[in-house]
Amino acid sequence: MSVINKVYETNGPEETMRTGRMLGESAAPGQVYALVGDLGVGKTVFTKGFAEGLGIEEPVNSPTFTILQIYEEGRLPLYHFDVYRIEEPEEMEEIGLDEYIDGDGVCLIEWAGRIEELLPEDVIVVFIEKDLEKGLDYRRITVRQR
Ligand code: ADP
Ligand code: MG
């Protein structure tokens, strides 16, 4: 039973956390998750749940200024990127994106659309969107492996 290639609907941050936790629990070494969606849609909330699912207990926040935060206490290493501030793909090379992508941990990249051309072919896209007709707290989370 795969948790990938599914659409999840949530009605609050706790439910998005739970969805993230479920995906984190079944994450496999070497996977790259691209989190796509507008500011405030829930990418970091999803990541907090995902980290919990990997068994990470320390608090997780968007690495907006540091671009990358590494968590090594879980079942697999988690490389949490927030590439909102990246202007040139070369900046990601300096950070060493390729080594993390090719490594045995799991990469989770907020604002991944900004570095589209650097993502691996088999990236798992987590697309989060609102639908205001369904309420302020509604989110549709589409998970699809490319
Ligand atoms: P992003 O990282 O995408 O910019 P955050 O995860 O930091 O966004 O923030 C999402 C905000 O939306 C939080 O304040 C959260 O409480 C709120 N929220 C409301 N409903 C949901 C939901 N269903 N899923 C996730 N977050 C939600
Ligand atoms: Mg964020």
- pLDDT tens, 3-45? 999 999 999 999 999 999 999 999 999 999 999 999 999 999 9
Q: Residue 43 CA: which ligand is closest?
A: 1
Q: Residue 82 CA: which ligand is closest?
A: 2
C-alpha pair distances (Å), 65 with each of 68, 81, 85, 123: 8, 10, 8, 24
Q: 128 and 46 in contact (C-beta within 8 Å)? A: yes
pLDDT value at position 1?
60
| Amino acid letter, 119 | L
pLDDT value at position 64?
86
pTM for the complete prediction?
Answer: 0.97
pLDDT value at position 11?
98
Q: Residue 38 CA: which ligand is closest?
A: 1
Residue 2 burial by CB count (10 A; 0-12/13-18/19+): exposed, middle or buried? exposed
Residue burial 68-106, b: 16+ Cβ < 10 Å; e: rest? bbebeebebbbbbbbbeebeeeeebeebebeebbeeebb
Residue indicated by tokens 């993502």: 119
The whole-number average pLDDT for the span 81-101 is 93
Q: What is the spatial distance between Cα 64 and Cα 10, in angstroms, rounded to a whole number?
A: 25
pLDDT at 110 over 90: yes
How much of the chain, in percent, has pLDDT values that exceed 90?
94
Nearest ligand 1 atom to alpha carbon 38: 3
Nearest ligand 1 atom to alpha carbon 110: 2
Count of residues in the chain: 146
Mean pLDDT of the chain: 96
Helix runs in 2-118, H state only: 13-25, 43-53, 89-95, 97-102
Of 7, 8, 38, 45, the residue with max ligand 1 atoms within 8 A of its CB, to mutate for a pocket test, comes to 45
Question: Residues with Cβ within 6 A of ligand 1?
Answer: 10-13, 15-16, 37, 39-45, 62, 110, 137, 139
Residue 89 binned pLDDT confidence (cut-offs 50, 70, 90): confident
Please name which of 69, 133, 141 lies closest in space to residue 105, comparing C-alpha atoms: 69
Nearest ligand 1 atom to alpha carbon 138: 23
Q: 25 and 53 in contact (C-beta within 8 Å)? A: yes
CA of 11 to the centre of ligand 1 (A): 11
